[in-house]
Amino acid sequence: MIARRYLISGRVQGVGFRYFVKKRADLYGISGWVRNLPDGRVEVFAQGEEAALEELEKDLWRGPSLARVEKVEKFEVQPERGLNWFEIRLY
């Protein structure tokens, strides 16, 4: 299992981006969380199999239909123990 943190920039708040990410993460069996940041970006922490995270990353670049993704930054991080689901967090 690996873990990654993503920072997504563009028109990604107020367009259903967090719900889109949760649905895709659930589909791929990824655990973690997604939240809006005060600066207008969306932050995602995701852990799971590498192939699943690669698929999620493709979806992050696409986003829901009303989003306009300009940048996806990716960081390798340590997995969190005991995190067995994917949730939408408030700030």
Domain boundaries, the chain: 2-15+23-89
Reply yes or no on whether the pLDDT at 91 is more than 80. no
Q: What confidence tens digit (pLDDT) does each residue in 33-74 have? A: 999 999 999 999 999 999 999 999 999 999 999 999 999 999
Task: Based on the residue annotation, tell me whether 18 is a catalytic residue of this protein.
Answer: yes
In this structure, are residues 61 and 25 in contact, taking their beta carbons and an 8 Å threshold? no
Angle made by CA atoms 50, 21, 81, in degrees to the nearest 5: 50
For residue 90, what pLDDT is reported?
85
Catalytic residue chosen out of the listed positions 4, 24, 36, 41: 36
Active-site pick, 4, 18, 24, 41: 18
Mean pLDDT over 29-33 rounds to 98
In three-state form (DSSP H/G/I as H, E/B as E, the rest C), the secondary structure along 27-71 is: HHCCEEEEEECCCCCEEEEEEECHHHHHHHHHHHHHCCCCCEEEE
Domain 2-15+23-89 top-level CATH class? alpha beta
What angle, 0 to 180 degrees and rounded to 10, lies between the N-to-C axes of helices 50-62 and 17-28?
Answer: 160
For this structure, is 84 an active site residue?
Answer: no
